[in-house]
Amino acid sequence: MDIKVEDRAASDADAAAAIKEAILNKLIYSVGKSLEAASSHDWFVATAFVARDRIVERWLASIDEVNRTGRKQVYYLSVEFLIGRLLFDALTNMEMVEPTRAALFALGVDLDELREVEPDAALGNGGLGRLAACFMESLATLSIAAFGYGIRYDHGLFRQRIKDGRQLEYPEEWLAFGNPWEFQRPEVDYEIGFGGRIEAEHQPDGTVKHVWLPGETVEAVAYDTPIAGWRGAHINTLRLWSARAPDPLRLDKFNSGDHVGALMDQVRAESISKVLYPGDTTPAGQELRLRQEFFFASASLQDLVLRHLRQHGGILSLADKVAIQLNDTHPAIAVAELMRILVDLHDVPWRDAWAITQATFGYTNHTLLPEALETWPVPLMERLLPRHMQIIYLINAIHLDQASKLADSTGERLAAISLIDEAHGRRVRMGHLAFLGSHKVNGVSRLHSDLLKVTVFRELDAVLPGRITNKTNGVTFRRWLKEANPGLTSLLTEVVGDRLLDDARLLEKVAAVAGDAAFQERYAAERRANKVALAKLVRHRLGIKIDPDALFDVQIKRIHEYKRQILNILETIAVYDMIRAQPMRDWIPRVKIFSGKAAASYATAKLIIQLANDVAKIVNADPTVRGILKVVFLPNYNVSLAERIIPAADLSEQISTAGMEASGTGNMKLALNGALTIGTLDGANVEIREKVGADNIFIFGLTAEEVEAHRHRGIDGSDAINRSAKLAEVLEAIASGVFSPDEPDRYRGLVDILIHHDYFMVTADFESYYEAQRAVFRRWRDKRSWWRAAALNTAHMGWFSSDRTIAEYAKDIWDVPVKPPGRG
Ligand code: CRA
């Protein structure tokens, strides 16, 4: 042992001893438990407090530095932050994992068991919310001064259970045992107004001042969670707002015996931060959603304006010191709210206020799906936010006036770019508002950004050219490589050095050894260990035994028709039929793994879940295919489950109808961890193919352009079905109840959609998908070739680090400097 190693061992031992002391202290004095009485949860909280203390020290230093230098701040406004568990994020980024493990071991506690005790903070639906969480981590890693602003939902995304193959939704309770990471800030609270009226005051100088007198106010109270960057370089704040009524109860009502009525105001106010994505199929649900959006947008703006005024004195320098990113249209009302703050509260002339607003905001669009592009009925807006509606009308009048002066202006174009959609009963187009109020509008993959210019924002782009730009999504490698796949990460670190997580581009060095037999063996061994662990989890949760040497073919994401889980199921059945016809052939053992939630009100998606489960039931019980084919639906997909599945996946299903998946980020996580992708040329798949090489990815199906053309010709699936005997047989089996003997007609409607109304091109893409799957099989048989491709995927995925994405936002949209991480 040389001296250096000895020194390090000694300092590791010191670190562990110090952490052990600290944990004991927290257990006793903060949790209030003795060693003997402590539950796993108590140990978790004590450990979290120790990590949090370390973070807080640097947090205060970070805040102090930002205040002292007065540098520009970035504010990321998002109704979703899908952060998952935080313990390993905190320990990893503070470089405390190993000493903490040793400290707990000495106390007879297993760190990996504690990891499982922490509930997932599921304050998001899927990709958009998880992206916000990855961005928060990368913002801190790059030492950008930033706040995340969102809503502290009492209940995050529902818990999914599968009963008799069907999805059931239960409330999620992440706060039931408290949250050790957050700090309540009762002193940071703002009044949020709704409804009421506007008074116009005529000023001596002839101008008119508008004063909004809300009919109802709700209070927004801040809860802060520190977010540590890699190596603790910089710590930022995630500030989530919780809603309260100004008065805890109506004492008069209570004393008169109306005990429930006395609490009504409180209940009404608190419903704003009660649940993530309340059902919006009813008018009441829609109103609540709009209340949520305004609530958090207004609180965040009030907070950041106050901070700006304290630091910099005047409001006119706002755009020099503040960049606000609107994560989709959900916070878009902030454009009108900032105008109100500037014009009504700070007497900034309209034109200057508009210039400041545009210079301050950036807007990220995450979808082309028309149903996800928010619009609000004008009457609802007028009732709930009367002053904002006036402001929106004025923004629109000026905008339309300017556009009408352009040479090629037409009435049709003006109708298309108007903030008010007159065609569907007068609605405010929030995407348009965000577009107008921002200096940059970005899509989330190259294809998506290009499509924005020819679809939803075609007319706006023609009138305001150059505003649309692209920022292809990314994922944080600290969580999605190191924390999820520590074994593979150590192997990669041996190859590229220990700056791997400081600079993901270093992964390129892995390409040089991808063909090396010894390296491949170790790479495959790490992945096999992950597959054994996943097999154990499947056994434990579902009682299904799967073979870790089988090909793990994985589709994990929200269940949606455009994501086409159904295409995957059809191929499964086709292969199932073939095996049954020729059971003795040399089949490749394969496990189809599905996981994902369907929106509670999305009946077709729920039916797809049921179909996957019904198919699983029949296939898994069939002795003919034993050892060859298994189908698994893992319930309650969330961040933590993703962390278990992704490192164990061999094949990554990214099979959306081309032109419909804005980017995808699961595709990045899976390829990074060495799964080969089978996918369409959709979203970021296009760029993944460019990076990993066309030989190391399985691309199939119609392109976005071809889908467009095909839809033009009609969406009847009959032709495609007539051309494919396999497909016809599979559809017939499903429709006739082979997989639903208890209710033979269960899937007839679903099959009818595919035959007559195949908007998502399932039938059109079936054969080519089927062939791509056969190419996967051929590659799998040649293990050297497979592992080389897998290693090359890992090697070339460095570009998809969210550090790269955030550095691009910083340079092109926010105009703030970045400081790459690294020691010293
Ligand atoms: N559903 C897109 O569909 C994309 C993420 C993050 C989505 C994904 O393809 O990767 O955003 N869009 O950019 C969305 O939520 C409202 O739109 C998603 O998560």
Residues 286-325: tens digit of each pLDDT: 999 999 999 999 999 999 999 999 999 999 999 999 999 9
Q: Ligand 1 centre and the CA of 127: distance in Å?
A: 5
Per the rule left: phi > 0, alpha: psi between -120 and 50, beta: everything else, 678 is: beta
What's the average model confidence in pLDDT over 30-34? 98
Q: How far is CA 7 from CA 10, 104, 452, 823, in A?
A: 5, 22, 57, 18
Distances (CA, A) of 756 to 718, 721, 735, 751, 759: 7, 11, 14, 9, 9
Q: Ligand 1 centre from 662 Cα, in Å? A: 6
In-domain check, residue 194: yes
**Is 624 within a domain?**
yes
Ligand 1 touching residue 272 (CB < 6 A) = no
Rounded (10°) angle between helices 783-796 and 762-781: 110
- Residue finishing a domain among 439, 471, 503: 471
* Known active-site residue 563: yes
Q: Is a pLDDT exceeding 50 seen at residue 387?
A: yes
Q: Verify that 280 and 336 share a domain, yes or no.
A: yes
Which of the residues 308, 558, 560, 564 is marked catalytic? Answer: 558
Task: Report whether 74 contacts 144 (CB < 8 A).
Answer: yes
For 533-549, b where at least 16 C-beta lie within 10 A, e where not — what string? ebbebbeeebebebebe
558 & 488 share domain: yes
In this structure, the answer to whether residues 542 and 627 fall within a common structural domain is yes
Q: Are strands 183-194 and 216-228 parallel, antiparallel or unpaired?
A: antiparallel
Of the residues 134, 157, 330, 366, which should be mutated to test ligand 1's pocket, given the most ligand atoms within 8 Å of the CB? 366
In a domain, 761, yes or no: no
Q: What is the mean pLDDT of residues 149-176?
A: 97
pLDDT beyond 50 at 410: yes
Q: Is 340 in the pocket of ligand 1 (CB under 6 A)?
A: no
Mean pLDDT for 588-592 is: 98
Residue 473, CA distances (Å) to 128, 434, 804, 813 in order: 10, 20, 9, 15
CA 500 from chain centre, in angstroms, equals 24
β 375-377/427-429 pair status: antiparallel
Q: Which pairing describes strands 159-163 and 166-170: parallel, antiparallel, or unpaired?
A: antiparallel
Is 665 among the residues known to form the active site?
Answer: yes
Question: Average pLDDT in the 715-734 region?
Answer: 97
Q: Are residues 370 and 483 in the same domain?
A: no
Mean of all residue pLDDT scores within the chain: 97
* Ligand 1 within 6 A of CB of 128: yes
d(CA 793, CA 253): 66
119 close to ligand 1 (CB < 6 Angstrom)? no
Q: Is the CB of 366 under 6 A from ligand 1?
A: yes
User: Would the pLDDT of 477 be above 60?
Assistant: yes
The model's pLDDT over 741-762, given as tens digits with 9 standing for 90+, comes to 999 999 999 999 999 999 999 9
Residue 1, pLDDT > 50, answer: no
For residues 184 and 211, state if they share a domain: yes
Q: Which domain-ending residue is among 442, 471, 500?
A: 471
| 328 CA distance to ligand 1 middle (Å) | 9
Q: Judge whether 521 lies within some domain.
A: yes
Q: For the residues 395-407, what does the mean pLDDT come to?
A: 97
Average the pLDDT over 775-787 and give the result. Answer: 98
Same domain, 19 and 50: yes
Within-domain flag for 748: no
Q: Is residue 726 in some structural domain?
A: no
Ligand 1 in contact with 643 (CB < 6 A)?
A: no
Report the nearest atom of ligand 1 relative to the CA of 129. 19
Does one domain contain both 450 and 502? no
User: Does 142 sit in the ligand 1 pocket, CB within 6 Å?
Assistant: no
CATH code of the domain covering residue 369: 3.40.50.2000
Chosen domain end from 411, 443, 471: 471
81 neighbors 124 (Cβ within 8 angstroms): yes
Pocket test for ligand 1, best of 76, 327, 367 (most atoms within 8 A of CB): 367
Instruction: Please indicate whether residue 687, judged by its CB atom, sits closer than 6 Å to ligand 1.
Output: no
Residue 199 CB contacts under 8 Å (≥ 6 apart), including other chains: 210, 211, 213
* Ligand 1 atom having least distance to the Cα of 125: 19
Structure confidence at residue 442 as a pLDDT band (50, 70, 90): very high
**pLDDT band at residue 424, thresholds of 50, 70 and 90?**
confident
Which stretches within 362-410 are classed as H helix?
378-384, 386-404
- Measured in degrees and rounded to the nearest 5, phi and psi for residue 639 equal -60, -45
If asked whether residues 154 and 10 sit together in one domain, one would say no
750 located within any domain: no
- The finding on whether 669 has its CB within 6 A of some atom of ligand 1 is no
Among protein residues, the one with the nearest Cα to ligand 1's atom 10 is: 664
**Ligand 1 in reach of 596 Cβ (< 6 A):** no
Task: List helix spans (H) across 543-596.
Answer: 565-581
Query: 444 alpha carbon to ligand 1 midpoint, in Å?
Result: 8
Pocket probe for ligand 1: among 562, 663, 686, 800, the residue whose CB has the most ligand atoms within 8 Å is 663
pLDDT reading at 4 higher than 90: no
DSSP string, 308-348: HHHHHS-GGGHHHHEEEEEESSTTTTHHHHHHHIIIIIT--
Q: Clarify whether residues 333 and 369 are in a common domain.
A: yes
Say yes or no: CB of residue 662 within 6 Å of ligand 1: yes
Q: Is the CB of 802 under 6 A from ligand 1?
A: no
Domain that holds residue 39: 1-69+88-119
Number of domains in the chain: 3
Q: Calculate mean pLDDT across residues 252-274.
A: 96
Q: Identify whether residues 56 and 172 lie together within a single domain.
A: no
Residue 89's SS3 state is: helix
Residues 31 and 138 in one domain: no
- Tell me whether residue 669 is one of the annotated catalytic residues: yes
For residue 370, what pLDDT is reported? Answer: 84
Which sign does the torsion angle of CA 416, 417, 421, 422 carry?
negative
Residue 824 in this model has a pLDDT that exceeds 60: no
The tokens for 41 are 């949860």
287 and 398 housed in the same domain: yes
List 85, 291, 429, 557, catalytic entry: 557
Q: How confident is the model at residue 655 (pLDDT cuts 50, 70, 90)?
A: very high
Say what the ipTM of the complex is.
0.97
| Å from CA of 405 to ligand 1 middle | 36
pLDDT in the model for residue 822:
78
Distance 683 CA to ligand 1 centre (A): 10
Q: Give domain status of residue 717, yes or no.
A: no
364, 665, 763, 805: which is the annotated catalytic residue? 665
d(CA 649, CA 673): 8
